[in-house]
Amino acid sequence: MASVEKRNGRKCWYAVYYVNGKKIRKSTGVSVKELGHTATQLKKMAQTQAERMESVARGDVLPDKQIDAIRAAADATGGAKMPALRDYLDSFEISGGEQNRSNVKRAFKLFLDFLGADSLKRLDRITREMCQKFFDYQSTLVSAGTVNRYKTSIACAFNAAIQEGLIMRSPLVGIKLPKERTVKRELFTHDEVRRMLTELPQDWRDMVLICLGTAGQRIGDCACLKWEHIDFEKGVISFDTQKTGYGVEVPMLPQLAARLREIQEVQEGSEIYVLPSMAQKYLRSKGYLSTEFITLLKGLGIANNQKVKTTNRQRNVSTKSFHGLRNYAVTTLRDAGVGEDMTCALVGHENIQQDRAYYRTNIRKKQAAMQKFGNVLFADYGSSESYASAGEA
């Protein structure tokens, strides 16, 4: 059974236990002296933590009754004044849309599962080293972008704890995340969009039309569009986005309105979703539709793979995806002269900075812009050549 000991010059109790005959000595993180606790209380807390550390090291699984006993011991020693990390994250109120809440919950679960018994530690006992090990481990499994999203999700909880006065500093401060080359997918051309609207299977043609007819809404919002979101009399589609919960109200293009009426006539009011088969696929597996769409694009020769180097391996990433239609919508709107504020309102971006990240350009657009610039710059001379000649004269 694990025991605890003091070490010269160290401020915390140390756990001592054996694993496979090897003696292990590690800090429990429980101070030898702490204002508001007696020496006996602190030693008991250290002993409880040592037993947890021993259990994890041996690969034992903490049963519910043992977890309850650990929490009861913390209550008896005053530890309940500061919530355990697991309790705090379990009760944390996540804002945003359904997708954002789902992503944050997944990050919390992975973090708690990785920490194991350490997740029962008080919130102020979670260290940067613990967090760094978690992100280092995740970087061997998923892309750097995904690891960064995990950090953003977990950071929101620690930042809230700071605002509540529970902790003074987030343990994520100073965390180093892996870097990888940013995947920048190509922008769809007008010809490629026309091909999608004519050559894809009918359900996918409708998905693309709904996406573009609502100024580039995300794949989940298009697949799960309901008839209650559509007002034919006013000619608008309005709903709260799944990712952020941001309210979107978009005037329907006539082409989209006409197609929606055709679908409605066939369904005869028997369906909740506009595209029930697509909604069923998305709700069963959120990634399935994205993968299916990319496969169809590759079949049409519109998309192909690009190799991207992650932390420890290379992976194939499609040059184009359904989300690229959102970039296409933003770029087309902006090139048509629509202002940034209006583009944000139509697409559903919360700020202009976010909207700007979706704008893409190409050399032809740059050439046209430079031509306009040149027309103004050399308006009095007619051409750059005559301007140069005038300078020599």
Per-residue pLDDT at 393:
47
Higher pLDDT, 322 or 73: 322
- CA–centroid distance for 81 within its chain: 32
- The amino acid occupying position 330 is V
The CATH code for residues 190-356 is 1.10.443.10
Q: What is the pLDDT of residues 99-155, one digit of tens each?
A: 788 889 999 999 999 998 889 988 988 999 999 999 988 887 777 778 888 999 999
Host H or E run for residue 317: strand 314-318
Higher pLDDT, 95 or 212: 212
- The amino acid occupying position 303 is A
What is the average per-residue pLDDT within 37-64? Answer: 74
With bands split at pLDDT 50, 70 and 90, how would you rate the model's confidence at 235?
A: very high
Q: Is 90 exceeded by the pLDDT of residue 167?
A: no
Q: What is the pLDDT of residues 244-295, one digit of tens each?
A: 788 889 998 999 999 999 999 999 888 999 999 999 999 888 788 999 999 9
Yes or no: say if 378 and 387 are a contact pair by the CB < 8 Å rule: yes
Q: How far apart are CA 66 and CA 112, in angstroms?
A: 17
Residue with tokens 């004519």: 198
Q: Provide the angle, in degrees to the nearest 10, between the axes of the packed helices 202-213 and 254-267.
A: 140
**Residues 6+ away with beta carbon under 8 Å from 133:** 114
Boundaries of CATH 1.10.443.10 in the chain?
190-356
Q: How far apart are CA 374 and CA 368, in angstroms?
A: 10
Global pTM value: 0.57
